[in-house]
Amino acid sequence: EAQVTQNPRYLITVTGKKLTVTCSQNMNHEYMSWYRQDPGLGLRQIYYSMNVEVTDKGDVPEGYKVSRKEKRNFPLILESPSPNQTSLYFCASGWDVNTEAFFGQGTRLTVV
């Protein structure tokens, strides 16, 4: 089954404790992206990747890092999480920017 898998689904952590949210797709897609969703602000793009070892900033990259060492995985790293990073996060993949996007189930992160 074609899917994008995020882990964990829910995470509560403390300020400053490094964490990684994983994202994996099994469709051999080249394009992958991370978004956060906040009430009243909607979805905003954090980082995206056009292919292996090719990543670029979205609209809200501050406080986040990503890597794309292999095509299927695109982890989101929060080196020092802060409460303003409490949000619902989505990973997505597609063949490229002009094709259908497949979204992961979402990760609800709370930073206290």
Partner 1 sequence: KNEVEQSPQNLTAQEGEFITINCSYSVGISALHWLQQHPGGGIVSLFMLSSGKKKHGRLIATINIQEKHSSLHITASHPRDSAVYICAVYGGATNKLIFGTGTLLAVQP
Contact between 87 and partner 1 (CB under 8 A)?
no
**Which of 5, 44, 71, 73 is the binder for partner 1 (CB under 8 A)?**
44
Q: With the C-alpha atoms ordered 37, 42, 48, 50, is the resulting torsion angle positive or negative?
A: positive
Give the DSSP letter of residue 83.
G
Contact predicate 56/33, CB 8 Å: no
Is residue 48 part of the contact set for partner 1 (CB under 8 A)? Answer: yes
Q: Does 1 bind partner 1 (CB under 8 A)?
A: no
Instruction: For residue 69, give both structure tokens.
Output: 């060492």
Residue 77 or 101: the one with the smaller Cβ distance to partner 1 is 101
Please give the size of the binding site for partner 1, defined by CB under 8 A: 26
Report how far residue 47's alpha carbon sits from residue 27's, in angstroms, rounded to the nearest whole number.
20
Contact residues: partner 1, CB under 8 A: 31, 33, 35, 40-45, 48, 50, 56, 58-59, 90, 92, 97-106
